[in-house]
Amino acid sequence: MRIIIAIDILGGKCVRLTRGDFNTKKIYNEDPLEMALKIEDNGIKYLHLVDLDGAKNRKIENIKILEKIARKTNLKIDFGGGLRTYDDLITVFNAGARQITAGSIAVTDPDIFLHWLAKLGQEKLILGADCIGRKVSTSGWLETSDKEILGFISDYRSKGVKYTICTDISKDGMLQGPSINLYKEILSHVKINLIASGGISSVKDIEDIMESGCEGVIIGKAFYEGKITLKELNNLC
């Protein structure tokens, strides 16, 4: 299972939010590159880089930070936030991302998302499927759609999507455990590479996610708050 560390960027800084609420911002490092180097130095290979400014403003805002991290580390980066056009994707890949995560556009304009999938192929495009109350959220979790999470993922799997990141927003940043039952339900209905995110608070949580059949797990606040160490994560890789 892929162990992935999240770096969320807001105002050029490495931050974490609670349940996606921008008013709960907590800064963990003024320099995202410094954090990325620390992650790499401890044996982690995968980075989930989120442009929160981009998600909020619906345009890429922190491309320079992606370029810097990609140039100065060997981390395999997936990037999300503010992606609206195919040119945006090319910009992000040229800046050094290995994969991109697209969620809002998959809800608001499925034709565009499927065009991206056809052009890029299933290895480079991750479906962002973040939900609250089983409804898919968009625009940096500021809006909630009428799309039900299981049907949303299942429909896109039937159209060729291979990877999806699923975050239960009610769990995100709460350090109270992930939505294991939701992940098990998804995987019992859909054969997809599922990446779990939200609520992880301990190594036991990661082991439970592993046992559920997920292909990857994204760790955020638990790492930043010292609940899980990079050494412990490296031992799981």
Tens of pLDDT along 159-204? Answer: 999 999 999 988 877 788 999 999 999 999 999 999 999 999 999 9
Strand, helix or coil for residue 227? coil
Domains identified in the chain and CATH numbers: 2-236 (3.20.20.70)
Tens of pLDDT along 11-51? Answer: 999 999 888 888 999 999 999 999 999 999 999 999 999 99
Tens of pLDDT along 64-115? Answer: 999 999 999 999 999 999 999 999 999 999 999 999 999 989 999 999 999 9
Q: Does residue 61 carry a pLDDT above 90? A: yes
The per-residue pLDDT of the chain, averaged, comes to: 94
Q: Which residue has the tokens 């056809």?
A: 118
Q: Does residue 206 carry a pLDDT above 90? A: yes
Q: What's phi and psi for 214, nearest 5 deg?
A: -65, 150
Percent of the chain surpassing pLDDT 90: 84
Q: Does residue 151 carry a pLDDT above 90? A: yes
Which residues are designated catalytic?
8, 130
Evaluate if pTM is beyond 0.75: yes
Q: Does residue 138 carry a pLDDT above 90? A: no
140 band by pLDDT with thresholds 50, 70 and 90 = low
